[in-house]
């Protein structure tokens, strides 16, 4: 369903992530004289990817303490998702609400048959029905474009790289060195997490732009999403999520970065002003303004 031909770009970005992971293994192998470390880190990458594939929905829902809702409990949210799912000829996802005043929404799940859409109590309070429809269209397109798996796996592999690099930095130190360069190991330990984060950000930002466009085509109303994003920007600054590790691991799934005063260079989301401008341009092309 994705019209943006980003498959090659995403493949190359994933190859970059795994190259960084294997470089760490290769450096440790050179330092210890044991080639087995290259294979150890390859297995870690594969195992992490598999775990993220099967559990991405549970991890995200649990981190937000979200609870399932029925049509009777959230009739407007249910009606909009049912309508858009039918329009896309896709199965109805499970619906959740997260008990936080911070306005946000996310979709999760490895495919449309195992998907969930979650809105926070905050977003349900500040958006009108038209704006909520724009947000839910965006989230559903993440599901239909298989973006959830892509971003979840990228985050998981980036997390492994960071953890292993920290281990190298604090416990490697060149001990037991058999020809490896301890300075190179330290440099890699410092630079690998940065490289992994930049690659993860590139994947996430590309997918956000695509979901904005595809979601607006699904709803037929790009200005509704633009209006919602403007409200979310202000709402999150007033009521951000607490900056703890579990929420950091889920933040890349959300329609807007949930933390306060995040610098654009280090955000998994594109700048909100650029997203709004793109949507306004799309509306003009469609003759909506």
Question: What is the rounded average pLDDT of the residues 89-101?
Answer: 96
Distance CA 278, CA 124 (A): 24
Which residues is 184 bridged to in the sheet? none
C-alpha to C-alpha distance for 205 and 184, rounded to whole angstroms:
31
Nearest CA-CA partner of 75 in 104, 89, 95: 95
Cα 77 to Cα 85: distance, rounded to the nearest angstrom: 12
* Domain assignment of residue 99, given as a range: 7-285
Q: How many CA atoms lie within 13 A of 108 on its CB side?
A: 28
Whether residue 2 lies inside any domain: the answer is no
Q: What is the pTM of this model?
A: 0.78
Q: Tell whether 1 is covered by a domain.
A: no
Whether the Cβ atoms of residue 103 and residue 123 lie closer than 8 Å to each other = yes
Q: How far apart are the C-alpha atoms of 125 and 153, rounded to whole Å?
A: 32
In a domain, 221, yes or no: yes
Is residue 56 domain-resident?
yes
Question: What's the structural domain count of the chain?
Answer: 1
pLDDT of residue 123: 98
pLDDT at 148 over 80: no
Active-site hit among 73, 76, 83, 139 = 139
Question: Does residue 71 have an active-site annotation?
Answer: no
Does some domain include residue 90? yes
Report residue 45's pLDDT band, with 50, 70 and 90 as the boundaries.
Answer: low
Q: Which two tokens stand for residue 185?
A: 């190991």
């Amino acid at each position: 369903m994705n019209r943006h031909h980003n498959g090659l770009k995403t493949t190359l970005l994933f190859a970059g992530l795994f190259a960084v992971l294997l470089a760490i293994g290769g450096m440790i192998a050179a330092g210890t004289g044991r080639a087995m470390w290259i294979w150890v880190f390859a297995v870690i990458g594969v195992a992490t990817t598999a775990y993220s594939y099967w559990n991405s929905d549970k991890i995200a829902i649990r981190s937000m303490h979200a609870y399932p809702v029925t049509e009777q409990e959230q009739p407007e949210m249910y009606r909009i998702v049912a309508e858009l799912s039918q329009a896309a000829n896709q199965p109805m996802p499970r619906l959740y609400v997260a008990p936080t005043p911070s306005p946000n929404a996310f979709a999760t799940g490895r495919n449309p048959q195992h998907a969930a859409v979650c809105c926070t109590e905050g977003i349900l309070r500040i958006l009108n029905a038209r704006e909520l429809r724009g947000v839910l269209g965006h989230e559903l397109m993440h599901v239909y474009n298989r973006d959830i798996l892509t971003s979840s796996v990228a985050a998981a592999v980036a997390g492994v790289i960071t953890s292993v690099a920290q281990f190298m930095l604090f416990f490697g130190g060149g001990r037991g060195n058999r020809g490896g360069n301890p300075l190179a190991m330290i440099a890699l330990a410092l630079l690998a997490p940065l490289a992994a984060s930049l690659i993860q950000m590139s994947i996430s930002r590309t997918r956000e732009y695509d979901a904005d466009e595809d979601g607006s085509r699904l709803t037929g109303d790009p200005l509704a999403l633009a209006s919602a994003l403007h409200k979310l920007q202000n709402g999150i600054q007033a009521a951000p999520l607490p900056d703890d590790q579990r929420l950091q691991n889920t933040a890349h799934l959300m329609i807007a970065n949930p933390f306060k005063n995040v610098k654009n260079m280090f955000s998994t989301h594109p700048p909100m002003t650029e997203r709004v401008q793109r949507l306004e341009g799309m509306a003009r092309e469609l003759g909506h303004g």
